[in-house]
Chain A
Amino acid sequence: MAPDTILEIKEVTRLFGGLAALKDVSFTVERGKIKAMIGPNGAGKTTMFDVLTGILRPTSGDVFLKGESVVGRRPDQITERGMIRTFQTVRLFEGMTALENVMVGCHCRMESGFVSNSLRLPSARREEALLREEAMAALKDVGLHTRANEIGTNLPYGQQRLLELARALASKPDILLLDEPAAGLNQYETGELSSLLLDFRGKGLTILIVEHDMGLVMQMSDEIVVLDYGEVIASGTPEVVQNDPRVIEAYLGIEA
């Protein structure tokens, strides 16, 4: 595997009963790039994310994160190793403030456990202060630091999406998997999201994004891979993919 490849997906197949949700899917994601995974509904994109993050096991095939196979690992282990995802529907933690939500994002970066925390040992207190700092920084990065103490689920929808993003970023991942981050956002919010993501890429973050908003995809991505019925039907730069006849056929009726 090339040294600059953060994520390699190798012939991943996932069967549900007799149905192949993913069939022999292979592609790579290079460091510092934004790669989009697109395809009609039901193409297997969220299933792929589930496989990548350990929620599902592939029926066959392998996934390499920074050169190491992560198939069979628990989701929290994969997060620890530098790959984190957001969800299609907002899954903020209820009853917790924006700051607390993001602090959970930092969870895997710290170690203090039951004993050191119940006794409030200095090591735990130091970690707590550090966690708070990092969480606030993540909130600042997405522009939500003024609403740190509000209950996450009380925020307007667009800001909830940003909060999810901040929470994922707090874990300081090597690669970020975004599942339809622009869903439900208006044009202004989508534009903001786009500049934020480009910003993060500039800082070295690798992004794999599933999106239906073609404008966003074409504008932002360095590379695109197209799935249909669980198979890769095209991949390459936005220009190449846009003109690929198989892609156009798969998307008939959907605006590019």
Chain B
Amino acid sequence: MEGQLTRQSETNWRTYRTLIIVAVFVFLVPVWARFIPGDVLHMDIVNIMVLAGVYACAVIGLNLLVGYGGQISLGHAAFFGVGAYTTAILCTRLHWFPSWLGIIAGAALAGVVGWLVGKPVLRLKGNYLAMATLGLGEIAFILFQQVKGLTGGTVGILDIPPLSVFGLKFDTDFKLFFVVWALVMVLMLLSINLVYSRVGRALRALHSSEVAADAMGVNTSRYKVQVFVLSAVFAGLGGALFAHFQKYINPESFTLALSILFITMVVVGGMGNIWGGLVGVVILTFLPSVIQALPQWIPGLPSGLSNFSNYELVLYGLLLIGFMIFLPKGVAYGLARAGGFTEMRARHLRDRIKARKIESH
């Protein structure tokens, strides 16, 4: 039974099927969000979903790097920022510059930066790699602040035009929601394909034992850099979308806190699980809103706690610690086990029915 739970499907079909179910579920959010009790506007949910979507781009890539490749990055907000600033600068300085091209440019430039820093830094391992990526992320933040001529300094860049593709303008949250999540589904599809392939196995092998992977013919240093670049590209894509969503950006959007948020989403969601990134993104993007809305749903909560921006962060820190203690493998793993148990029971039931049928003959 353990084998059933833990083996990756040999064909991709089971996972594709789940992807379709997830996609349907997500795209129907504007519909079923209306049924959430309390004073919650369903359009607010759509707005939060757009943010979750752009974060998801970064987190899906990061999950490949951390969960599958076994590396660490505490500086991924930098790539998110590179993507955002690239498209913002291009679209505001050159008024003719199409935003869809800006997004591609943002993702590409993030990838280039990822390659340049990845090559030297990925020689480091574990804690050292964590520290180095943290340092790089901070340097990027300082550059965003200081290179005022390009980035607008602490003020940032305003009036970023909305996303438009071939004349179609995505200027409302609602329209952006569909575009962003369609892209997220595409990125998920690419990830699924990658994970169930030679590349995915190479990554998992190098995560498990770099020495053995090398000995088996996997060029581990090249793979580490490649998956790092991939995660940088995905993050840059998310950042560029973010710029066209918020319509203004400043360095405060790309701090260490965001890098930490990304990595937390990966870990809480479930490393090494293909859905880990998405699960983590959704949980942690909605968590603050859920905490804020709690007093509405639990009438007994004392109003002293309603000083939101304080206790919400306290709870956040506690929850982070709690997740690591009680669900170290992540939520997705917990869900998979639950799903696995249900599937196991269903199969047992089927087997018992079959056995009885045979007996009665």
Contacts and interface: CB of A to CB of B under 8 A. Distances in A.
A118 B190 contact: yes
A230 interface: no
A55 B75 CA distance: 31
B202 A74 contact: no
Interface stretch (B205-213, B290-298, B317-325): B205-213
Interface in A91-110: 91-97, 99-100, 103-105, 107-110
A117 B198 contact: yes
A128 B202 CA distance: 13
B216 interface: yes
Given A94-B208, A96-B201, A103-B201, A75 B194 contact: no
A188 interface: no
A100 B202 CA distance: 10
Contact of A95 (B6, B190, B212, B216): B6
Contact of A76 (B7, B10, B219): B219
Contacts of B215: 53, 55, 75-76, 79, 84-85, 87
Contacts of B272: 95
Contacts of B208: 93-96
Contacts of B193: 117-120
Nearest to B189: A118
Interface in A56-84: 74-77, 79-80, 84
Contacts of B299: none
A112 B197 CA distance: 9
A124 B202 contact: no
B3 A149 contact: yes
Given A75-B215, A97-B8, A117-B199, 7 more contacts: A54-B214, A76-B214, A84-B215, A91-B209, A96-B208, A103-B201, A151-B6
Contacts of A109: 217
Given A85-B215, A108-B217, A150 B3 contact: yes
A113 interface: yes
B226 A151 contact: no
Contacts of B2: 151, 154
A167 B216 contact: yes
B71 interface: no
- Please list the 10 inter-chain residue pairs (A to B) with the smallest Cβ-Cβ separation, ordered nearest first: A108-B217, A79-B217, A117-B197, A91-B212, A75-B214, A118-B190, A93-B208, A94-B208, A76-B219, A104-B205
A128 B10 CA distance: 10
Contact of A80 (B12, B191, B197, B217): B217
A97 B7 contact: yes
A87 B7 CA distance: 25
A100 B195 CA distance: 12
Decide if the interface of chain B is mainly helix, strand, loop or mixed.
helix
A131 interface: yes
A149 B200 CA distance: 17
B230 interface: yes
Contact of B3 (A117, A118, A127, A151): A151
20 contacts: A76-B217, A79-B217, A84-B216, A87-B212, A87-B215, A91-B209, A91-B211, A91-B212, A93-B212, A93-B213, A94-B208, A97-B8, A104-B218, A107-B205, A110-B198, A112-B197, A120-B12, A120-B193, A124-B198, A150-B3
A96 B204 contact: yes
Nearest to B209: A91
Nearest to A113: B199
Contacts of A151: 2-3, 6-7
B204 A74 contact: no
Contacts of A16: none
Nearest to B212: A91
A105 B216 contact: yes
Q: Pick from A99, A100, A118 the residue with the most CB of B within 10 Å.
A: A118
